[in-house]
């Protein structure tokens, strides 16, 4: 599946502007929550002399997936994932309360935003039909931000051409 096809498929579940706005808040909160919650425990990778965390492994998996989908946007997502990973590690290092409370709080509020948006959309979240939707969400919100800045116009045109016309209200 191409990048445009992936975004068009995900976009079918996110046509209501209120849903997109709630996702602009909720998706980053969920990504950060996962980085916070999975920042502990750290463990050594044998033979490499590198310490790793479940968050690092999850981010590496996601980065590889994004890079395989599209190199340019994959690089952007890798940079964003690295930033979220670093912030998540900093929050987790503050204290056990910040680690657990901050992570769970971000996760719960982020998902509350998601479900509110899908209530307005009148459609279930994309990941219910395809678990890859959990990876598509951060990518979709990143591309939506680029579009809001007037960037990636060719990709926007390609995605809109692939999406089914929206029914008239």
Rounded alpha-carbon distances, angstroms, from residue 136 to 41, 64, 74, 139: 27, 13, 12, 5
Question: pLDDT digits over 30-72, tens only?
Answer: 999 999 999 988 877 777 777 799 999 999 999 999 999 999 9
Annotate 80-119 with DSSP letters as a single string: HHHHHHHHHHHHHHH-HHIIIIIHHHHHHHHHHHHHHHHH
pLDDT of residue 130: 65
Question: pLDDT digits over 6-39, tens only?
Answer: 999 888 877 888 988 999 999 999 999 999 999 9
pLDDT of residue 125: 73
Q: Which residue has the higher pLDDT, 101 or 169?
A: 101
Answer whether residue 166 shows pLDDT above 70. Answer: no
Measure the CA–CA gap between 169 and 167, rounded to whole angstroms. Answer: 6
Q: 122 phi and psi, to 5 degrees?
A: 75, 25
Answer whether residue 96 shows pLDDT above 60. Answer: yes
Question: pLDDT digits over 76-88, tens only?
Answer: 999 999 999 999 9
Answer whether residue 74 shows pLDDT above 90. Answer: yes
């Amino acid at each position: 599946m191409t990048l445009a096809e992936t975004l068009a498929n995900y976009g079918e579940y996110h046509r209501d502007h209120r849903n997109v706005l709630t996702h602009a808040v909720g998706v980053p909160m969920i990504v950060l929550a996962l980085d916070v919650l999975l920042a502990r425990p750290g463990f050594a990778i044998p033979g490499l002399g590198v310490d790793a965390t479940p968050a690092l492994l999850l981010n590496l998996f996601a980065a590889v997936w994004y890079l395989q989908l599209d190199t340019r946007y994959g690089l952007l997502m890798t940079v964003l994932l690295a930033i979220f990973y670093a912030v998540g590690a900093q929050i987790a290092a503050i204290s056990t309360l910040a680690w657990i409370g901050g992570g769970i709080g971000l996760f719960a509020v982020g998902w509350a935003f998601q479900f509110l948006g899908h209530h307005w959309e009148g459609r279930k979240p994309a990941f219910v039909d395809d678990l890859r939707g959990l990876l598509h969400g951060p990518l979709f919100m990143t591309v939506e931000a680029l579009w809001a800045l007037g960037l990636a116009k060719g990709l926007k045109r390609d995605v809109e051409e692939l999406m089914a016309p929206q029914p008239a209200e």
